[in-house]
Amino acid sequence: MSIFPTEEKIWWNEPVEKSEVLWVAISFIWALIMFFMMPYWHFAGEQNLSNEAYQISPDAFEEKTEAFAAKYTVREDPVSGYPIVAPPAGSDVYMYGKKWEWWPMLELQEGKSYRFHLSSLDYMHGWSLLPENINLQIIPNYEMVLTVTPTSNGEFSVVCNEFCGIGHHDMVGKIFVKK
């Protein structure tokens, strides 16, 4: 038994019990199954977003986002004063997080694909799309790019789920999806 020390001090020369070999084999096989399930679920399970990330300066990303908003703004939100931007289907969509805001608000079409570009201008933020349960970490100096196709219409909230400071609880953005 392993509770009591063996009389032989060279323990690796001792024979291994069959039950121990069986449990090691079962553990190894289970580890292989779990390892190969990860890529399988990525592609077949349709649960993980495929994305790309590129280095970019916060100033350059802010400039791209503001140019995008200036080009496609359709109206302003009456409460926050943020622009509501309606880009054409299939286009690039820019959104940044900075000190307690996701900017700008978006208006998308159901069933149409968009290429999202997300970045942070100051701290690490979380980009959580509710109620769809899409969660991403948005890091300064990196542009996260992913393709999104809205499958249902309605009003969706973008919430920061990484604590980013005193105004973290107010960091909410909006995405409107229309038919």
Q: What is the pLDDT of residues 164-179, one digit of tens each?
A: 989 899 899 999 999 8
106 and 69 in a single domain? The answer is: yes
90 and 32 in a single domain? The answer is: no
Q: What is the pLDDT of residues 46-60, one digit of tens each?
A: 666 778 899 999 999
Q: What is the pLDDT of residues 102-141, one digit of tens each?
A: 999 999 999 999 999 999 999 999 999 888 878 899 999 9
* Total of domains in the chain: 2
Q: What share of the chain is helix, strand, coil (3-state, %, to 5)?
A: 25, 35, 35
Task: Give the per-residue pLDDT at 46.
Answer: 66
8 and 65 in a single domain? The answer is: no
70 and 129 in a single domain? The answer is: yes
pTM: predicted TM-score of the whole model, two decimal places: 0.74
Q: Which domain holds residue 161?
A: 51-178
92 and 148 in a single domain? The answer is: yes
- Greater confidence (134 vs 71) lies with 71
Helix (H) or strand (E) holding 63: helix 58-72
Percent share of the chain, pLDDT over 90: 69
Sorted by sequence, the CB contacts under 8 Å of residue 161 that are 6+ apart come out as: 126, 128, 135
23 and 77 in a single domain? The answer is: no
29 and 65 in a single domain? The answer is: no
